Chain A
Amino acid sequence: MKKQILLITAIVVALISCKKEDVDNTAPEINLAQPVFDQTIAIGSAIPFEATFTDDVALKAYKIDIHSAQEHVHTKYAKLNLNEGHPWTYEKSWEFETGLTQSEVKHHLIAVPDSIMGKEGFLEPVMPGEYHMGIFCTDISGNENHVFIDIILE
């Protein structure tokens, strides 16, 4: 019995003494000021983008991903109205400067074109309507956060 207790104690001590180092489990935060939910943006203009990214250790990158909300659910039952144009997609990522824990990003880099290359190889107007905009942000440890909003192209 004594041996048993000794052995158990040894195992418990061994487990508890393996004290782990501090790890970075905190995801960065995204504070999106612009565009706002359901903001209307004119086709042919640039989307105003303004956000603050913060992380407790260091930021790594952010990404903006825009695609038509309708193209997600286009089906044999609810076909896209392609007469109105071709759905526009956008994706781009940016890396932060090394070691930043906070970054205020403000730019007009996301230009919505008037027309894009369609399926048949001809330029087609960009389809207006509801679009889905996702902002992803990561920190150097790979922790990730995202914000999704809807915007309306007109």
Chain B
Amino acid sequence: MKYSQLLLLLFLLIPVGVKSQNVITVKGVVNDVQQLPLPGCHVHFGEVCVITNTQGQFFIDKVHPGKQKLTFSYMGYQPLDTLVEIIAGQNLQISLHPEVHHLNEISIQVQRFDTVRSIKNEIVDSRFVAENLSGTFIKSLEKISGINVINIGANASKPFIRGMGFNRVVVSENGIKQENQQWGADHGVEVDPFAVETAELIKGASPIEYGSDALGGVINMDNQSLPFNGPVAGEASMLVKSINNTIGGSVQLQQRKNKIYYKARVSYLNFGDYAIPADTIVYLTRKIPIHNRNLKNTAGNEFDWSGQLGYISTHFKSVLSISNVSQKSGFFPGAHGIPDETKVADDGNSHNVEFPFQQVRHTKISSNNKWFLHDLTFFADLAFQQNHRQEWSLFHSHFPGQNPLADNPDLELDFRLNTISGNFKVVFNDLDRNKITVGLQNQYSDNRVDGYSYFLPAYRRFISGLFIKDELSLNADWKLFGGLRFDYGTYHGTAYFDSLVYQYVKNLPDRSDEEAAYYAQRSQSVTVNYPGISWHVGSTFQGFSNTLLRVNLGKAFRVPTAVELGANGVHHGSYRFEVGNPGLNNEAGYYFDFHGEYKKASWNLGIGAYAYYFKNFIYLQPTGTLDHPLPDAGGIYYYRQSQALISGLELVTSKTFYEKVIFDVNLELPYNYLINEQVLLSYGIPFTPPVNGYLALKIILGDKVSVAANSKWALEKDQTRGQGELATPGYMYFGLVLMSDLNLKQLPLSLVFQVQNLFDKKYYNHMSFYRKLDIPEPGRNIQLVAKLKF
């Protein structure tokens, strides 16, 4: 052989040689959280799939060192899709968590990012819920940047994500959407605060899988964790609050015998009138005294129960759930009807609920099913839910001819919404580098109304949505996401002719019969069909060390609500004459969002920026016209559509010093405007949060105890507020938390002691329904949450 040929051969061999020298065998162990081995776990590497042995060990031959993607899946456990830095001689320790414990709880002893979805999500675990429990689950999310909460008194809350709320966010439980957001601002999200095990918060539009309302984001609560095999286990929780003398408790029992398990929970809360740091409020330009600084008749109670029956086998998992949430709470009588000091006189009882009050019930039966087939997973979720809300108020009327009804004469409003839903989804796991999901979602709702006042039409609605999405792994660092959804729905609103209004207007001087008939037609018979298309493209990139970048672009839409389409009359409680528009189009918006995360052991930083451009954002426009005959109302407001910009920045950073001191900073800077034709950007959008932030300093004192101080603040909201909104001054309030994990006869007992609004600061929430009534937010609250597992 010639020398040159030998050299050529050598050159040809070198790369091969380098490669073959460097392939190694990866080995490791898969355990569950209690460090018990998981035999039979599937470990995928490229096209290789190995199964762990009886000790939970696995071996994969011929793997190149460097970052490699490994996937672990095991029945009843959350699959783990991860990048691992492969080094010769290492023994990987993988631990998988039971199914509901979402990605961030799955630990692996390699530096990695928790989640690789393109839309930024936050996972809230049971620990977070326990530490932040405050009578409502939604309230506990307030500290997260981009999430704002409207509190309606001390025991009801509504979420806002990125400045969008009501029908622009989705709240769901075990994947089933809660259907009660269209009923106005004065009731909360009906969920047993003790029953939430984990929750996923998605900030940003997620229309492909969650449907048309998920413009701002999604809150999905989950309580379907799989119990461990063994004897009956459970937990008992207790909540005590000083602000309204809440006493609450919950007991849960669960047991699993191999393939079958059950769970059952009962919760009860009783609360009194809540304290505000003010002696008077102003209602209809009159000062109303607040005796003993307690807001009269804001007491109430809540009784919730739920049960689950589960079946799990190697290829099938099914959970049948039934739950009921039932709340009764009073309204402050000083801000209802005519201002009258006698109505707010101290009645000596802070736990009674008198008129006016509301009663809310949410009942749900659902069946969640999953089939694990060779290379696909099939999901079928079926549910029926009834949302029933009643407002009771001593019979009163503006119209001389109106007499109380024989049955329930004091039932002012009654809404009963029945919804059946059926969601189906197939996930193809084993396609080359692709993960494709195809789904079909159907929903039928029927809303009925009753009571001596009229607020909302009876209606029927049917929506069906078909979607496909793909997750494509270009390489270990780079993923592309794409999705397309087509929705088709029909809405039929029932006409309502209010003969009392007709008589009233007809009898007024200077008003014609035609005018009387116009004002008496509180809603028209409307049938609307609304097809809509949503799409999404996104990408994640982890090529820079310790960094995860996400970018998303898409189109999402929302269907107009019954009120937006058909209102005609004085809005209950807001003193506005609101006129709906049956010609409204779907509210469609294009969104862009970017999120960058940098994570190290002791420091992490996340920056998010988002912008939505709406072609036809639905909002209530004041006209200044006062020429209408209806009593107790000011100007006429029309539901109109305008271009709008909703944008903002979010910043989260957390730094740990000496492994014991943790400093958290959360910032939110929203910037929302309606875009007027004449001026580039004009009025602010109502319900836009002010620039706000949350700071916390936590010190870990040993294994069992930690203390934390926190502060929530907001800047003044004035120039950028929406039309018809009041300016709201800035504020800052402080809190203290003491957490402790103890053992009570060898049973783990966790205690969380908290002081909220430590200095009893008087402040207003810009977005609250109570802002207009000049009712400040609750004052100082001292509370204790105890949880015992057995």
Contact = CB atoms under 8 A, between A and B. Distances in A.
Interface string A1-42: 100100110011001001011010100000000000000000
Contacts of A75: 394-396, 404, 409-410
Nearest to A26: B727
A108 interface: no
B682 A20 contact: yes
A61 B649 contact: no
A65 B732 CA distance: 40
Contact of A119 (B400, B410, B596, B679): B400
Given A25-B721, A144-B634, A91 B623 contact: no
B719 interface: yes
A138 B724 CA distance: 11
Interface string B382-406: 0000000000001111101100100
Given A61-B624, A72-B398, A140-B624, A4 B549 contact: yes
Contact of B338 (A18, A132, A139): A132
A11 B671 CA distance: 12
B405 to A, nearest CB: 10
A69 B684 CA distance: 37
Given A8-B596, A20-B720, A141-B723, A146 B634 contact: yes
A117 interface: yes
A87 B399 CA distance: 10
A89 B338 CA distance: 16
B286 interface: yes
Contacts of A117: 507
A15 B681 CA distance: 12
Contact residue range for chain B? 35 or more
B575 A146 contact: yes
A142 B624 contact: yes
B647 interface: yes
Contacts of B635: 136, 138, 142, 144
Nearest to B592: A11
A60 B596 contact: no
A73 B624 contact: no
B723 A21 contact: no
A72 B395 CA distance: 9
Q: How large is the interface on A (under 10, 10 to 19, 20 to 34, 35 or more residues)?
A: 35 or more
Interface string A102-119: 000000000000000101
A148 B631 contact: no
A71 B682 contact: no
Contact of A148 (B285, B629, B724): B285
B508 interface: yes
22 contacts: A4-B547, A11-B594, A15-B649, A20-B680, A21-B680, A25-B725, A61-B624, A61-B627, A74-B397, A75-B394, A75-B404, A76-B395, A89-B504, A92-B510, A119-B401, A136-B634, A138-B626, A138-B635, A142-B723, A144-B724, A148-B285, A148-B286
Interface of A: 1, 4, 7-8, 11-12, 15, 18, 20-21, 23, 25, 60-63, 65, 67, 69, 71-77, 86-87, 89, 91-93, 117, 119, 132, 134, 136, 138-144, 146-148
Interface of B: 284-286, 337-339, 394-398, 400-401, 404, 409-410, 504, 507-508, 510, 544, 547, 549, 575, 594, 596, 607, 609, 611, 621-629, 631-632, 634-635, 637, 645, 647, 649, 671, 673, 679-684, 718-721, 723-725, 727
Given A89-B631, A144-B635, 14 more contacts: A12-B609, A15-B647, A21-B679, A23-B719, A25-B723, A25-B725, A61-B624, A73-B394, A75-B395, A77-B394, A93-B627, A117-B507, A138-B624, A138-B626
